[in-house]
Structure 1
Amino acid sequence: MDSGAFSGDDGVARSLYARMRQEGESLSEAAAKLSLTAADIDRARDELTRLQLLNPETQAATDLTAALNRSLHSSHRMLDNLVEQHVKIATLAKHYLGLPERMDNHANIEYFSWPRDRRQLHDRLDELSELAEHEVLDMHPIAAWTRESLDAGLTRSEANIRNGVRVRTLHAQIAMSNPLVREYTARWRELGIEIRVTPVIPTRMLIYDRTTAVVQTDPEDLDAGTVLIRGGGVVKSLAAIYDYCWTTASEPEDVPRSADGSSLTEQQRAVLRMLAAGMKDSAIARSMGVSTRTVTRVVGELTVLLGAGSRFQAGVRAARLGWLDIH
């Protein structure tokens, strides 16, 4: 490339970052379009990484405002690096804040495949959480929760609460039978997170300030990937759906026996086992020596408790939760 095309190493870094943000290109793609030399690329990469404008693993440009926020917060936490942080912030504000961004009057959509783009998606969630100013809404269907995944969400929520952001979370009612979820429910409430439960969760979803939504592509298949939607009326519609679900949901303690499968009565457990075996109400009633009406009532209780739409689905969900193994 022509050595006079940019003014110094920082000019190369700024031009490279501007290209990546405007065109949505990776570092290597933008560098090729700008005809940068290998030495220029290395120096620009180091500069952008230092300024936290480049994800070192994905080699993708990060959000400028998020980079500024991280720098500001870090400057208050790390007194030993105060001078370096202030220099970094000044550089960002002076050389990068005025760069043009790609604009779109309509909804902007990004797709993340799973699990290939898992790390990139988590990085984007971290950015969105840092940028949230008013509220974060999330809803979660039944899932194979791990302590690692719950800790990651808790860390983001702690930062939101400290910044005065309201955090609300909706969980599937049957998730409360998971001891790990019950443990974190108590921690969420202590932190100030509002939580409700409902029998049916339409899909996995996160909404930030009612302007950005992260939604699972297929409610029945996590491997189908995730979409991030910015702006447009779509996000407002999703927020309205969330508001409806929240209004009709219940506090965890208001749902009888939903918090622990082991709290089932002996009668409920016996009916559940025979229900899972495919027996009809009349056969269950004869086996237990009770009336068919009693069995029908218990089946109705179990169906509501499990958030199921049918007798068969109730048996399947009970088996998945391990309730049929409780003695």
Structure 2
Amino acid sequence: MLERLGVSAAAEAVYWAMLEHPMWDVDELVANLDIPETAVHDALSALADNALILPSRNRPGTLRAVSPQIGLIALLDRAEQQTIAQQAEIQAARTSILARAASHDTSREREEIVRLEGLDAVRDRLAEHARTASESCLTLTTGRAIPAAVIETGKTLSRMALSRGVTIRHIYQESILRDADSLRYAEWMATQGEQCRIVPEAPLRMTLIDRRFALIPIEPRSGRGALEIRSSRLVSALCLLFDMMWEKGRPLASRRAGEGNELTDQAVAILRLLRRGRTDEAIGRQLGLSERTVRRTVSDLMKRLNAESRFQAGVEAALRGWI
């Protein structure tokens, strides 16, 4: 218990024994603790250095154990002061390193858009942000599935940021969570403290750091790298887009409410066209269905969605994650 305070296990055993048996001498400590005499003498020296034992006034020539309320609290105070000093040194080192890094890469600081070539450069930059972000990390993920390598990297970097008190918000496009591995990842991240929501459709992938930097892919699904945007105006616009989508999204926990609807592909296609305001005739023509079939399907969907209009049915279906 006291090893974290700089007291060895042997010294701790001697200390507690002296507290419980103040009349024991070295021979009795050796016999009862079953440790060598040299180890007892070393323990007494260590305890004296930590002011946990003092010469006894009642029994001159002997040592006594200081009460835990005095001796151990003093050790705790010293350990806390050392921790505070170490934290101050670490913070000073962090400030110095960041300043040195910034001066070393002045060209990037001046540029409003920096091109990160290749996935390694992107991962390195994200790792740097995970270590230096001070407030938030906002991510918008699109596509059909999150690659396994991205999942592993995301877990590591997100935990790193979360452990430092950084707020993480993640918006997932609904299609991604149809992939089992991606869904497990999203649910696991939610247990770690990530705030996440789902939207039916998303325009692009991006990550926003402290609302000061934005990373977006150079080309979707190309793996060519990313653009790091530092222009305050551009970043502000992307933050506004994220905030609007966050407000329209629904929590991950509500996704289960949209499962089990057993919609056919035909019903899903009709709902998507309804949301775009298409007429029954136009929907039938586009999907190769009779107008009567479309009308019957729309009527059934409106009842299930408790919608008063065709357009409302499309919107409600999107909000529920049916499409």
Normalised-by-shorter TM-score class: 0.5 to 0.7
> Is it true that 1:282 corresponds to 2:286 in the alignment?
no
Give the superposition deviation at 1:271: 3.6
1:166-205 matched pairs, under 5 angstroms: 166-205=167-206
Q: Could you tell me whether the CA contact under 8 Å between 1:274 and 1:284 is conserved in 2?
A: no
SS in 1 for 2:196: strand
Structure 1 CA distance for aligned equivalents of residues 123 and 264 of structure 2: 40
1:109 to 90, 106, 113: 113
User: How far apart, CA to CA, are the structure 1 residues paired with 2:234 and 2:192?
Assistant: 31
> 1:112: Cα distance to partner?
3.2
Instruction: Report deviation, 1:222.
Output: 3.9
- Structure-to-structure mapping, 1:3-14, within 5 angstroms: none
* Contact in 1 for aligned 2:146/2:176 (Cα 8 Å): no
Number of residue-to-residue matches in the alignment: 209
TM-score, normalization: structure 2?
Answer: 0.53
- Structure 2's unaligned 5+ residue stretches are 1-89, 273-285, 305-309
Q: How does 1:16-165 map to 2 (within 5 A)?
A: 102=106, 108-113=112-117, 117-165=118-166
Partner in structure 2 of residue 252 of structure 1: 252
Whether the aligned pair in 1 keeps the contact of 2:267 and 2:297 (CA below 8 Å) is no
1:264 is aligned to: 261
Distance 1:242 1:98 in 2: 28
Distance 1:140-1:294 versus aligned 2 partners, 3 A rule: same
Query: Deviations along 1:114-172, whole A, 9 cap, x unmatched?
Result: xxx11111111111221111100000012332332112111100001100000000001
Structure 2 equivalent of residue 242 of structure 1: 242
Mind listing any 5+ residue stretches in structure 1 that lack a counterpart?
A: 1-85, 308-313, 319-327
Describe the SS at the equivalent of 1:291.
helix
Identity of aligned residues (%): 15
Q: Give 1:111 shift.
A: 1.6
User: What amino acid sits opposite 1:269 in the alignment?
Assistant: T
Measured after TM superposition, the shift of residue 177 of structure 1 is: 1.8
Secondary structure of the 2:250 match is coil
TM-score, normalised on structure 1? Answer: 0.52
What SS does structure 2 have at the residue aligned with 1:201? coil
1:294 paired to 2:299 = yes
The structure-2 alpha-carbon separation of the partners of 1:253 and 1:104, relative to structure 1 and needing over 3 Å to count, comes to: closer
Question: Is the alpha carbon distance of 1:221 and 1:184 closer, same or farther for their aligned partners in structure 2, counting shifts above 3 Å?
Answer: closer
Equivalent runs, 1:212-227 vs 2, <5 Å: 212-218=213-219, 222=222, 225-227=225-227
- Contact map agreement 2:145 2:182 (CA 8 A) in 1: no
SS of 1:240's equivalent? Answer: helix
| Equivalent residues of 1:174, 1:306 under 8 A apart | no
- Write the letter of the residue equivalent to 2:184: E
Contact 2:114 2:229 in 1 (8 A): yes
Q: How much has 1:211 moved relative to structure 2?
A: 0.9
Residue aligned with 2:242, SS: helix
- Distance in 2, Cα, partners of 1:106 & 1:232: 12
* Corresponding residue for residue 58 of structure 1: none
- Supply the distance in 2 between the matched residues of 1:106 and 1:236 (Cα, whole angstroms): 18
The aligned amino acid for 1:158 is: R
Matched residue type, 2:126: L
The offset of 1:226, in angstroms, is: 2.1
1:41 maps to none
Asked if the contact 2:119–2:224 (Cα under 8 Å) also holds between the matched residues in 1, the reply is no
Q: Decide whether the 8 Å contact of 1:140 with 1:171 is kept in 2.
A: yes
**Secondary structure, counterpart of 1:133 in structure 2:** coil
| Separation in 2, partners of 1:283, 1:124 | 56
Q: What CA distance in whole angstroms lies between the structure 1 residues aligned with 2:101 and 2:148?
A: 38
Amino acid at match of 1:142: G
* Contact preservation (8 Å) 2:102, 2:109: no
CA contact (8 A) 2:197 2:250 kept: yes
Alpha-carbon distance in structure 2 between the residues aligned to 1:212 and 1:296: 43
Deviation at 1:175?
Answer: 2.1
